[in-house]
Structure 1
Amino acid sequence: MKEEVKAEQTTIEEIVANTTIADVYNAAKQLDGVVKKTKLIESPFFSDMCGNNVYLKPENLQNTGSFKLRGAYNKICQLSDEEKKRGVITASAGNHAQGVAFAAKELGAHAVICMPAITPILKVEATRALGAEVVLHGDTFDDAYEKSLELQKKKGYTYIHPFNDKEVLLGQGTTALEIIDELKDVDAILVPIGGGGFASGVALATKAVNPQVKVIGVEPEGAACMENSFNRGQVSSLSAVDTVADGCAVKTPGDLTYAFCKKYLDQIITVSEMEIMSSLLFLIEKHKLIAEGAGVLSLAALNKLSFKGKKVAAIVSGGNIDISTISALIDKALIARGRVFCFSVQLPDKPGQLMNVSRILAEANANVTKLDHNQSKVTDSFKKVALDITVETHNHDHIKKIIKALNDGGYAVDIIY
C-alpha cells in the first residue's frame, strides 16, 4: 500500500516538474476565438483604498460568466473523436457545469451534468440551454458527485474534473498570459482559490513568464482548504465549510493542484465574510459590475497586501449569481458598512410620540425606509408601544449620532442590526 501511495506521489511530482509554459501557450491556442480576452479595467477606487495601482481582470464578463470555460474547453478539445462521441460527465451546480456544457456543445461532445435535486431551476435551465443533459440526484453535491461516478463507470464517459486535472488548470492559466500581455510590468496577481485549479494555472503561467511577479491566492476564512493543507504539509480536508463564496466552498483541494500551488504560489490570504460582501458592494457601486461571492475574493484581499505602490491585477473570477442571493448579500454589506440601521424604541402610548421621533430622525438626516408600530410587543407595560424603525445612514459615525439624538430626546434605543 505504501508503495502505491509513493508511486502516485511520484506521478504527481513528475506532472508538476514536466509541465511548462509551452503547455499553457498550447492551451491558449486551443482557446483562441472561443473565450473572450477580457480586458483589464483600471480601478482608481480600489487603488486609493489599498495604496496600490489596481487593475481588475473581469472574468465575470467571460462567456458563461466565469473563467471555468477556459479549463473545460481545453480539457474536452484534447479528447479523441471517439471519446467525444461517447460523452463527458461532471458534477456541478455552478460555473463548471455551464463551462462544460458550453465547451461540449462547441466541440460536438455529449455532456452530462449531475446536479443536486435542490439546485435552483434557473441554474438547471441555463445548463440545459447550452445543450447538456442534466441529471438531478440527491440533496447535496456529494450525492450528485457519487451519481456522476456511477454513470461514468456505466456509460464510459470521460470525467471533466472542476480543478484536479492538468488540462483544466492549463486552460485556467491562460488568464495569466492575458494579464501579463496587457500589463507587462505587473507586480502581483491575486487569484481566488476553491479546489486550487485556477490558482495552479495562474501561478504556473505567471512564474514561467516572469518569476518576479508575485502570485497570491485568496480563500474565504470559512473554506480555507488550501491554507489548511499547507499548514499540515499535505492534502487535508476541512470538517465543514461555511461561506457566501459558494464557488469556493471546497473541503479538500486536489492532490495535483496542491502540488502546483505549493511550488508556485507566493502567499495565501484569507478574507472574512464581511470583507467579501463589502467588496461585492464596492464593485457594484464603483464599477457597475456584478459578481458572485467567490468572484470578489481578490478584491477582498487588497487591504491585506503587505506592499504599497505596486501594480496589482485582481481577478474577478465569476458573475453567476441569482437576484435573490445578490439582494441578500447587498443588504448584509450595507449593514456591515453602517449604511442601514434598524432599531427599536419604546414610546408612551399617547398622541404625538411618533411625530416626535420622526422629527428627531429628520433633524439627524436619517431617511426612514421601514416602520413597525407594535403595541403587543411590549409585555411589561400596557402604557407603552414598541416602534421598530429601519433608516438609511451614511456610516457608523452617523449611526452613533442618531442614537445620541434619540437618547437626548428621552428614548432608549435597542439595536436590532
Structure 2
Amino acid sequence: MCPQGLASPTSDIRLFAPLEQDAPQASITDNLVNRKGYSAGKNKESKEAQLSAQDLNHLFSLARLIIAKYRPSSSALSFLISGRRRARRPSLEKHDQRALKYLASVQALSFVEIFTLRDVLEASEILYKYIKPTPLVYSRLLSRELGCDLYVKLENLNPTNSFKVRGGIYYIYKNYDEVRGTGVITASMGNHAQSIAYAGQLFGVEVRVVMPDWVSEVKKNSLRELGAEIITYGKFFDEAAAYAEELARKRGYKYIHAINETQLYPGVATMHLEVIKELSSVGQVFNPIGGGSGAIGACIVYKNFDPRIRVVGVQAEGASAFYESWRSGRLVYKESVNTRAEGLAVAKAYEVPFAILRDRIDDIVLVSDEQMEAAIRELYYAVRQVAEHAGAAALAAARKVKQSLEGSKKKVVVMLTGGNIDAQQYARILSGGRT
C-alpha cells in the first residue's frame, strides 16, 4: 500500500520505449524476469502469475534493448528464448549450512528467486517518484591514464550522498503498512543508516540507528538532521547489528539488517539499470563490496543483459573478509578490521551476499587506504566530485589493475558510491597528507 498522502508509483514504466501492439509474445516472459516458479503460461489460474500487456511490453523492450545494444552471446540468447541456462547453478557446500538454512528460510535458494529484473523495474518506478537518476560521466583524464574509455557513475549526488538511499526508499515504501506503527531499527557505519533515516522522514516512520562510536561526525550529524535516534554500541558493524536485533526483539521495532535484507537489493540495483540504459558496449564494472548489495545489483543487471560483462568487486586490504571467503569457498570472520574506509569496515562475509556472489562475481580486488586516498584526489581533479574512501575504492581498483584495462575496446565503469567524508579529513587528503 502506498503511504497515505504520497504519490503512488505510476503504472507506466518509462525506462524503455513500449513495443508496437503487434509485438510477438514469446517465452521471454518466463525466462528473462519472471523466474520464481510460476509463469503466465504454466499457472493461468493464479492472479499472481498473470502478466499484463504492459508487463509484456516491458519485457520485450528489455529483450530488444539487449539485442540492439549488446549483441548477446549465443548462450545468452538461448537463455532468453528457451530458458535453458548453460552456466552451472550455484551449489552450497556442507560447511555453508548456516547460509543454506538462512536462504531456505526466505525461500531464496537460487539467485533468481531472491529478486529479478522485474523487481528492479518496479523499484525504479517507485524510486523515480522521489529521487532522480544520477549522472554517468566520461572522464578524458582518467581514460587517458588507464588506456580505456572510463565512465564514473556519480552516486554521491543522491540525496544522502550515497547509493544506499535507493534501497532505503524502496524498503520503507514496500513495507510501509508494517513499519508505520512499530518504527524501524537498523545498524550501520553511516550510509545505510542515512538511507533508512531519509526514507523514514519521507514516509513519516520512526527510525533508530545503532552504530559504532567511531563513525564520523558528518554521518552522525546527517542522521540527526533526518530525525533518526542514534544509539552508539560496539567497535564494529557486527556488534552494532547484534545489539540492534536485540533491541528490536525487546521493544517491538522492525529490524532491518543492512546486509542480509534482500528487499534492499532491487532498489540498489537501479543504479546499474541506469548504466545499462545509458551506455552500450560495457565491458567491465568496478563496484565496492562492504556488505555486498551493490555488487549483487551489478550481477543481476549486467549478467542478465550480457553475461560477458565483468563485475569486479573491491574491498579494503584491512577489511578483506568477503575476499577471503570468496577465495576459500567458506564464510570467513576477521577478529578486527583496519581501514579508514568506513563503508568497507565489515569484519565478516554475510550469508546472503556470499551465497549470491560466490559463483557470479568475476573478480575481487583489494586496495589499500593510500590507494583509495589517491583515487579520492583523482576524482576531484578529473570529474570535480567528492568521494569518501569507499566511494573511491572502485577507481582505486581500476588503477591497480590498469594493465588489464589498457587497449580495451569495451567501456569501463567505476561506481562512485558515496561522498560522505569529514571536511578536515578531505582537505588533508587533497593536500596529499595522511588522515
Q: Normalization by structure 2: what TM-score?
A: 0.71
Q: 1:109 aligns to what SS in structure 2?
A: coil
Contact 1:163–1:198 (CA<8 Å) still a contact in 2? no
Alignment of 1:381-392 (within 5 A): none
Q: 1:216 aligns to what SS in structure 2?
A: strand
Q: 2:160 aligns to what SS in structure 1?
A: helix
2:268 paired residue among 143, 158, 172? 172
Letter of the aligned partner of 1:14 in structure 2? L
Q: Distance in 2 between matches of 1:141 and 1:3?
A: 22
1:318 maps to: 418
Cα deviations by residue, 1:171-204 (Å, 9 ceiling, x for unpaired) = 1111110001010222211111111111111211
Q: Distance in 2 between matches of 1:277 and 1:7?
A: 40
Alignment of 1:108-123 (within 5 A): 108-117=204-213, 119-123=215-219
Contact 1:281–1:330 (CA<8 Å) still a contact in 2? yes
2:375 paired residue among 279, 286, 299? 279
1:194 maps to: 290
Alignment of 1:58-137 (within 5 A): 58-117=154-213, 119-137=215-233
1:348 maps to: none
Q: Distance in 2 between matches of 1:294 and 1:271?
A: 10
Q: Distance in 2 between matches of 1:139 and 1:66?
A: 23
Q: Assess, with a 3 A threshold, how the Cα gap between structure 1 residues 66 and 2 changes in structure 2: closer, same or farther.
A: closer
Q: Distance in 1 between matches of 2:180 and 2:276?
A: 33
1:227 paired residue among 310, 323, 328? 323
Q: Distance in 1 between matches of 2:239 and 2:354?
A: 24
Q: 1:14 aligns to what SS in structure 2?
A: coil
1:14 maps to: 109
Q: Assess, with a 3 A threshold, how the Cα gap between structure 1 residues 223 and 70 changes in structure 2: closer, same or farther.
A: same
Q: How far is 1:15 from its partner?
A: 4.8
Q: Distance in 2 between matches of 1:219 and 1:293?
A: 11
Contact 1:228–1:238 (CA<8 Å) still a contact in 2? no
Contact 1:35–1:69 (CA<8 Å) still a contact in 2? no
Contact 1:13–1:259 (CA<8 Å) still a contact in 2? no
Q: Distance in 1 between matches of 2:423 and 2:434?
A: 18
Q: Assess, with a 3 A threshold, how the Cα gap between structure 1 residues 288 and 260 changes in structure 2: closer, same or farther.
A: same
1:296 maps to: 392
Moved over 6 A (4+): 1-4
Contact 2:321–2:332 (CA<8 Å) still a contact in 1? yes
Q: Assess, with a 3 A threshold, how the Cα gap between structure 1 residues 247 and 84 changes in structure 2: closer, same or farther.
A: same
Q: Assess, with a 3 A threshold, how the Cα gap between structure 1 residues 209 and 135 changes in structure 2: closer, same or farther.
A: same
Contact 2:236–2:347 (CA<8 Å) still a contact in 1? no
Q: Distance in 1 between matches of 2:96 and 2:417?
A: 39
Q: Distance in 2 between matches of 1:225 and 1:281?
A: 27
Contact 2:377–2:430 (CA<8 Å) still a contact in 1? yes
Aligned residues: 335
Q: How far is 1:67 from its partner?
A: 0.4
Q: How far is 1:335 from its partner?
A: 7.8
Please say if 1:247 is aligned against 2:343: yes
2:334 maps to: 238
Please say if 1:206 is aligned against 2:302: yes
Q: Distance in 2 between matches of 1:63 and 1:120?
A: 18
Letter of the aligned partner of 1:21 in structure 2? L
Letter of the aligned partner of 2:389 in structure 1? G
Q: Assess, with a 3 A threshold, how the Cα gap between structure 1 residues 279 and 7 changes in structure 2: closer, same or farther.
A: closer
Q: Distance in 1 between matches of 2:163 and 2:337?
A: 22
Letter of the aligned partner of 1:214 in structure 2? R
Letter of the aligned partner of 1:173 in structure 2? A
Q: Distance in 1 between matches of 2:421 and 2:205?
A: 27
Q: 2:412 aligns to what SS in structure 1?
A: strand
**Structure 2 stretches of 5 or more lacking a match?**
1-93
Q: Distance in 2 between matches of 1:115 and 1:216?
A: 28
Q: Distance in 2 between matches of 1:288 and 1:160?
A: 34
Letter of the aligned partner of 1:285 in structure 2? Y
Alignment of 1:366-381 (within 5 A): none
Cα deviations by residue, 1:32-90 (Å, 9 ceiling, x for unpaired) = 22233111111011111111100100101111000011111212222141432211111
**Structure 1 stretches of 5 or more lacking a match?**
337-417
Please identify, of 319-328 and 95-104, the stretch whose mean Cα deviation from structure 2 is larger: 319-328
Q: Distance in 2 between matches of 1:249 and 1:3?
A: 23
Q: How far is 1:151 from its partner?
A: 1.7
Q: How far is 1:276 from its partner?
A: 1.1
Q: How far is 1:133 from its partner?
A: 2.2
Q: Distance in 1 between matches of 2:347 and 2:255?
A: 20
1:40 maps to: 136
Cα deviations by residue, 1:102-126 (Å, 9 ceiling, x for unpaired) = 0111122111112334555443332
Q: Normalization by structure 1: what TM-score?
A: 0.74
